[in-house]
Amino acid sequence: MINVSGWGVEGHPSEGWGVEGHLIYTASGKYMFRVYKENFEFTDYDLLHYDLCVTITDEDATFYSDEKGNRLDHSPSTLGLHEMNERIKKLYIKTADGKDWAIGGLHNAEKFAELIIRESIEVMVKNDYHGEWLGKKVKEHFGVKDE
């Protein structure tokens, strides 16, 4: 066991060179390096290495650049962006609440579904397919509260 200089932690060092793992973003908002074992168990490591060299080997990884900045995410087909029409793309982008593009795909699936339900109800009411009554039933079914 050694004391890792500057961090005040003790640990058993093991070589990191050549180890394959996954860079993950946790629910607590931090990145970790996850290493899987043969039995599907894994160990998560805090990232303290500030300039780690990385080679992306995930065929689904895609870079995006626009007025919001530069991002690395899943491919458009994985995110369903090729299949979405423009209106659905706008609803999808709204789910990020003005924050950067949703990390790892759909940031808030519940909000996205609610926006689709609300917009569908607007179409029903506008086109008078017994819209108000049907809209109320759809909202009740999905538990969408009135705004």
What are the start-end ranges of the H helices in the chain? 76-79, 86-94, 109-126, 131-142
- At 8, the pLDDT band (50, 70, 90 cuts) reads low
Residue 134 has a pLDDT of 74
For residue 56, pLDDT beyond 80: yes
What token pair was written down for 133?
Answer: 């009554």
Residue 103 has a pLDDT of 45
Across all residues in the chain, what is the average pLDDT?
Answer: 75
- CA–CA dist 121, 53 (Å, integer): 50
- At 78, the pLDDT band (50, 70, 90 cuts) reads confident
Share above pLDDT 90 across residues of the chain, in percent, rounded to a whole number: 9
What is the pTM assigned to this prediction?
A: 0.47
In 3D space, the residue among 29, 22, 52 whose CA is nearest the CA of residue 103 turns out to be 29
- CA–CA dist 115, 95 (Å, integer): 9
